[in-house]
Structure 1
Amino acid sequence: MRFIIQKFGGTSLVSQELREKVAARAIAAREEGVTPVLVVSAIGRVNDPFATDTLVNFARQVHREIESREMDMLMSCGEIISGVIMAGTFQKLGYPSVFLSGPQAGIVTDNSFSDARILKIKPENIIRHAREGKIVVVAGFQGMTEDGEITTLGRGGSDTTAAALGVALDAEFVDIYTDVEGIMTADPRIVENARIREVVTYDEICHLAHEGAKVVHPRAVEIVMQKNIPMRVKCTFSNAPGTLVTSTGEVFKGTIDITRDRTITGITQIPNLTQFRISMDNGSGGLTVKRRLFNSLALAGISLDFINVYPDRVVFTVRGDMAQKVLQVLETTGINNVEYTDGCSKVAAVGAGMTGLPGIMAAIVDALTREEIQILQSNDSHTTIWLLVKREDMEKAVRALHRRFALAD
């Protein structure tokens, strides 16, 4: 059988009219000779009656610290509701359909409640129903441990479910349907002429997703990349072709001048960061301070980003809401000579074509200098250059880089 995975987010399922549009996409796939398997998220978003956040908020009115095992059982309910409703929509339209929870679909996870990892998938139940001619609807975001405990997969869990099913069923495509028309060159709320990318690499979309482009979860991309299964990001509400996510070789197939055509894929941003700068001597005493610093922050459960370590200082960022906790840890640990800057933002330029190409950083510095934007910190990898700027300069920096690399052309 030729499978295609179609994942639909909660905003695609909030009304009967939209659910029938979702059904039409699956029916069209069947008519083209492929077997669709739908993965659904909980209906709506926070404050909608069946959204996961709504269920969580309701439970926390009873007790703020309900055990994670029980919370996973509650959070799995949203996808069960939407899955049953979606299967019923197909049945109403005259198409046999079956809904499977994550466990019924054979999704086996570890026991990390609220952020479980998929260990394996036993797809026999899906395949049996598909061979019987039924349209299979699977609950996203959930699975079951080997000893029968219900688990949820954390943020982006329905994307992860779709990707894992794509690998298990050797699907031709994994289609992620959302409320935008694809992966954009920048946030359209900041850059009016941002445009849809027709194709991006797995590596690029992972970096874009990690750096603030929240269209698809990077864990899902990492899963399909293992088996080189193409992923398409599409819009439920339009017939736009969306963005194809595939391997570097497929993206650049037939391209004569890669570096000119695809130097930068997109510009992203993450606001509300705090930068810390900690000075120390550059001898053995400084080495001891560094070890104590990182061990203390790790034990406190504080996630660091944008880390630069020098002989005489350490620089890093944290989310703005974690800044006071960092200061408390540093004070308790006896680490002095601390400076920090609130109200920072990280801007990232992402593109597979920058690898080994001279002049990218020069172009970035030139673009920001022309706008009188101070770069507080920078870092890079083979596909991404990160810049730390003041929050008030963030949108101006995104627009400047979007113009400099001609991403609207």
Structure 2
Amino acid sequence: MSLIVQKFGGTSVADPEKIRAAARRAIRAQNQGHRVVMVVSAMGKQTDELLRLATAVSEKPPAREMDMLLSTGEQTSVALVAMAIDDLGAKAVSLTGGQFGMKTDNSYSKARIRSIDTSRIESLLDEGNIVVAAGFQGIDDDLNITTLGRGGSDTTAVALAAVLGADACEIHTDVDGVYTTDPRLLPEARRVDVISYDEMLELASLGAGVMHSRSIEFAKKFRVPIHVRSSFSDREGTMIVSPAESESSPVSGAALTKDEARITVLGVPDVPGMSQAIFSAIAAQKVAVDMVVQNVGAQGKADVSFTVPRQELQVTLDAIEAIMETIGASGVTHDAEVAKVSVVGLAMARQKSVAARMFRALADAGVNIHMITTSEIKISALVPRDHAADALRAVHESFQLDQRPADAKTWAEIQAGSSPHADMDDVVTRLQNDALEALTLTDIAILEGQARVTLDGVPDRVGVAAEIFDEIGRAGIFVDLIVQGYDGQDGSTSVSFTIGQSDLEPAMKVAQSICQTHAMRDVRGADGITKLSVSGIGLRSHTQVGTVLFEQLASAKINVEMIATSELQVNVVIDSARGDDAKNCLRAAFADALS
């Protein structure tokens, strides 16, 4: 008999009628022959009310007691849902996280799942019960109640689906699936039938609110199909699985992150260890860094630009100011009036001129680009906040995201053409680990035979990036990494990109022509470079990855020429002569995390 995990968020159990509606959905699934586990969040705004009560009685509530308090929201919901199921004539048992065997570490408010004992749930299912499990919570080794943090109920549902071997994990929410962008910002956004784990991870990290990235990480690691659907209708929704909806469409979604701030550390000595010093200081303040751009140094100096959440700008500036003298940087600039527009697509790694198409769309819409960073499946551009909406609409229209791709496949079509048992041995091995949310790296690799081109003194005005990459595309040159950051000399920007070594000469000719046309300061090219990539699941939620990477390279006296980051990869460009040394030292440092 198949097993389904159904998760109902706070809006789906916000009042008695919605609770009864959720109960009816679970009973209907059971009547269709499925065994059913429900994972339930706190009702509506109940968590907000609990937080208000805590601050009313204590200016600084102890973390342990906060978890004890917040866990009661889910306990209320599961009891009420179980009562509703009983009243509708079916059998149900409600369980807290501790009661159904969720063991976590002891990091209050942000606990990680260590293991789940499924024996009690399976016994109750065998007796014909619908099991109603509290999301968001577990217990540590000392039986203290812990909570999982933001998106914790999604993570609970996916984790249970993994350890129970569920056929699917249904996420019932107040939207009817995943859209090509936020439909509240663009009404023409299209609901997609299928989206890949990797695409959804990038979109979730960019602010797509359907699901939290941590739960997608779990689903990818354990091959759990996720079905996002509405609590209030029977529309099919969206499947989040390994393959993408389309193999030919370069972009599957676009996202806008409004509350960004840009910081540039100017004149950083271009020697090993500088990146490590900067990002260690920021990590010590528990600040999450997003876009990271280090461009190629000139005259022994480099500029390092990155973005942080706008509300964390000042604490980040304070951290940087504290180390300015130590690292020998010449200054720091910042801009709190920026936003980030991004496009994501699994197929873009196989197609030329995707970046040029995005930059042209922004130029035609009159949107200036302040920073660029790319990965294999994502391109992000930092733009003025007052042009953010125009930027999102421009890229959405340019990639025709409102239209279903001609080769788009439904989940049923994908299932029919795939092997359902692929990689199951690997899944079983991972599930036997006593740290289910441990960092998992899929590869540490070097890409040799690379070259790079850097344009210095690029005018900070609309359309320049589009012209650069239009010309590169017309020359038939495939571009890998692109970074654009601020130039400390005159407030202009600098643009670097990596290419195959055999393309260096034609790329330099194009770059020199562009340099003359726009009166840029200089063009530099170099071969003999290597891209070092650390790929895995959980790079954002395990914030130590970047710190360890930079520490190891600094210890080995390996200089970093360029940096570009994403949800799935940290990429750095180094001298080819040190490629194997870099790969080997990182493999040793991350040995426990490599799959």
Q: Give the corresponding residue for 1:267.
A: 254
Deviations 1:31-65 (A, max 9, x none): 211111000000002xxxxx112101111111121
Tell me, yes or no, if structure 1 residue 78 matches structure 2 residue 65: no
Could you say which residue in structure 1 is the equivalent of 2:25?
25
- What's the secondary structure of 1:240's corresponding residue? coil
Instruction: Describe the shift of the 1:281–1:20 C-alpha distance in structure 2 as closer, same or farther (beyond 3 A).
Output: closer
CA contact (8 A) 2:268 2:304 kept: no
Q: Under a length normalisation based on structure 2, what TM-score does the superposition of the two structures give?
A: 0.64
In the TM superposition, residue 357 of structure 1 has moved relative to its aligned partner by: 0.8
Q: 1:289 to 1:205 in 2, by over 3 A?
A: closer
Superposition pairs of residues 386-405 of structure 1, within 5 angstroms: 386-405=380-399
Pairing 1:354–2:339 present: no
- How far does residue 297 in structure 1 lie from its aligned partner after superposition? 2.2
Q: Quote the residue 1:37 is aligned against.
A: 37
- Aligned letter for 1:59? A
1:248-259 pair list within 5 angstroms? 248=243, 251=244, 258-259=247-248
TM-score, length-normalised on structure 1? 0.93
Match for 1:386: what amino acid?
Answer: S
Query: Which digits, 9 at most, give the CA deviation of each residue in 1:134-193, with x for residues without a partner?
Result: 111000000011221110001000000000100111000000011001000111121111
**AA partner of residue 28 (structure 1):** R
Structure 1 match to 2:543: none
1:293 correspondence with 2:300: no
Is the partner of 1:304 in helix, strand or coil?
coil
Aligned equivalents of 1:218 and 1:331: distance in 2? Answer: 32
Structure 2 CA distance for partners of 1:303 and 1:87, relative to 1, 3 Å: same
> CA shift at 1:322, angstroms?
1.5
CA pair 180-282 structure 1, distance change in 2 beyond 3 A: same
Task: Tell whether the 8 Å contact from 2:261 to 2:334 is kept in structure 1 after alignment.
Answer: yes
Alignment partner of 1:317 is 2:336: no
Between the aligned partners of 2:401 and 2:347, the Cα distance in structure 1 is: 13
Structure 1: 5+ residue runs without aligned partners? 46-50
Partner Cα separation in structure 2 for residue 281 and residue 119 of structure 1: 41
Q: 1:128 aligns with which of 120, 123, 127?
A: 123
**Structure 1 residues 386 and 130 mapped into 2: Cα distance closer, same or farther (>3 Å)?**
same
Q: 1:283 to 1:112 in 2, by over 3 A?
A: closer
Superposed displacement of residue 283, structure 1? 4.8
2:268, 2:70 → 1: CA distance? 50
Give the match's secondary structure for 1:138.
Answer: strand
8 Å contact kept, 1:280–1:289: no
1:282 Cα deviation from its structure 2 partner: 4.6
In the alignment, which residue of structure 2 is the partner of 1:48? none
Report Cα offsets for 1:241-294 as digits up to 9, x if no partner: 00011112xx46xx7xx22xx32111111112111122115555xx56555433
Opposite residue 226 of structure 1, the aligned amino acid is K
* Pair 360,237 (structure 1): closer, same or farther in 2 beyond 3 Å: same
> Alignment partner for residue 223 of structure 2, among 206, 222, 228?
228
CA drift at 1:319: 1.2
1:98-143 alpha-carbon deviations (Å, 9 max, x no partner): 1000111111111111101111110111111111111110000000
Match of 1:95 in 2: 90
Paired position in structure 1 for 2:451:
none
2:143 to 144, 148, 151: 148
Q: Is the 8 A contact 2:268 2:274 kept in 1?
A: no
Inter-partner Cα distance in structure 2 for 1:229 and 1:323:
37
2:183 is matched with which residue? 188
Aligned to 1:238: 233
CA distance in 1, matches of 2:133, 2:394: 43
For the residue of structure 1 that corresponds to 2:304, the secondary structure is strand
- Whether contact under 8 Å (2:24, 2:85) holds in the other structure is no
What residue number does 2:289 align with?
A: 304
CA distance in 2, matches of 1:19, 1:151: 25
| Divergent runs of 4+, >6 A | none
Q: CA deviation at 1:363?
A: 0.4
1:204 corresponds in structure 2 to: 199
Q: In the alignment, residue 262 of structure 2 is paired with which amino acid? A: Q
Aligned residue for 1:15? 15
Q: Deviations over 1:322-368 (max 9, x none)?
A: 11222223333345421111111111101111122101001001100
SS of the residue 2:229 aligns to: strand
Structure 1 residue 9 displacement after superposition? 0.3
> Match of 1:78, SS?
helix
CA contact (8 A) 1:72 1:150 kept: yes
**Partner secondary structure for residue 305 of structure 2:** strand
| Structure 2: runs of 5+ lacking an equivalent | 404-595
Change over 3 Å in CA distance of 1:135–1:188 after alignment to 2: same
Percent of aligned pairs with the same residue? 37
Aligned match of 2:547: none
Aligned to 2:331: 337
Q: Quickly say closer, same or farther: Cα 1:189–1:290, change in 2 above 3 A.
A: same
Identify if the C-alpha distance between structure 1 residues 367 and 16 changes in structure 2 by more than 3 Å, giving closer, same or farther.
same
Bigger Rg, structure 1 or 2? 2
2:424 aligned partner: none
Please tell me the residue identity of whatever aligns with 2:27.
Answer: I
Instruction: Kindly indicate whether the alpha-carbon contact (under 8 Å) linking 2:27 and 2:85 is maintained by their aligned counterparts in 1.
Output: no
**Count of matched residue positions in the alignment of Structure 1 and Structure 2:** 394
Letter in 2 for 1:316: F
Query: 1: CA distance between counterparts of 2:179 and 2:205?
Result: 15
Relative to structure 1, the CA distance from residue 18 to residue 290 in structure 2 (aligned partners, 3 Å threshold; closer, same or farther) is closer
Separation in structure 2 between the aligned mates of residue 395 and residue 111 of structure 1, nearest angstrom: 42
C-alpha separation in 2, matches of 1:8 and 1:390: 37
Does 1:326 find its partner at 2:326?
no
Partners of 1:375 and 1:243 lie apart in 2 by: 32
Distance 2:268 2:109 in 1: 42
Moved more, 324-333 or 306-315: 324-333
* Distance in 1, Cα, partners of 2:102 & 2:369: 46
* 1:38-57 matched pairs, under 5 angstroms: 38-45=38-45, 51-57=46-52
